[in-house]
Structure 1
Amino acid sequence: MVVGVTLLNVKPGAEREIQRDLESRDGVREVLHVFGEYDFIVIVEVDGLSKLNDIVDEIREIGGVLSTQTIIGAEMS
């Protein structure tokens, strides 16, 4: 299992539509609308890095998404 945290900047006024879109996607565990440097924190949980890359690519294509930054989580043993 891979957990990715994707930080998004979006076009002002597009927040509600983008949030609904994000929440409807498979693999998206949580969407947080935040204030500060980024507009959203999106937590993605999938079976592998390839699927994470696919979801992040899909997110980048959403109209109104200006930029993304993704952090990949790893379990410490």
Structure 2
Amino acid sequence: MVIGVTMVNVSPGKEKDVYVVIKGMKNVRDIYHVFGEFDFVVIIQAESLSELNRTVDDIRSVDGVTKTQTVVGAEI
């Protein structure tokens, strides 16, 4: 099991649309709207690093997403 935390920036006015799309994605456990450098924090839970990477790629392809930054951890 691999856990990823992806911070996401979106274009102004696209927050609601991006939230709805990401919330419905496979492997997305939680999404939080935050204030500061990023607009959203997305918690991803996947079976493998490659599956997590595919989910991050899917997030990056969402219309309105301008930047992502991901940190990865594994359960011990």
Q: TM-score, normalised by structure 2?
A: 0.96
Structure 1: runs of 5 or more not aligned: none
Aligned to 1:21: 21
The separation in 2 between residues aligned to 1:5 and 1:51, in whole angstroms, is 14
Query: Over aligned residues, Cα RMSD in angstroms?
Result: 0.8
Aligned to 2:41: 41
Aligned to 1:69: 69
Aligned-pair identity (%): 49
Structure 2: runs of 5 or more not aligned: none
Task: Quote how far apart the aligned CAs of 1:73 are.
Answer: 1.2
Residues 1:57 and 2:57 are matched in the alignment: yes
Task: Quote how far apart the aligned CAs of 1:58 are.
Answer: 0.7
The separation in 1 between residues aligned to 2:74 and 2:58, in whole angstroms, is 22
Q: TM-score, normalised by structure 1?
A: 0.95
The separation in 2 between residues aligned to 1:74 and 1:50, in whole angstroms, is 13
The separation in 2 between residues aligned to 1:26 and 1:60, in whole angstroms, is 14
| 2:5 alignment partner, SS class | strand
- The aligned length equals 76
State the 4+ residue runs in structure 1 displaced beyond 3 angstroms.
Answer: none
The separation in 1 between residues aligned to 2:11 and 2:32, in whole angstroms, is 16
Residues 1:2 and 2:2 are matched in the alignment: yes
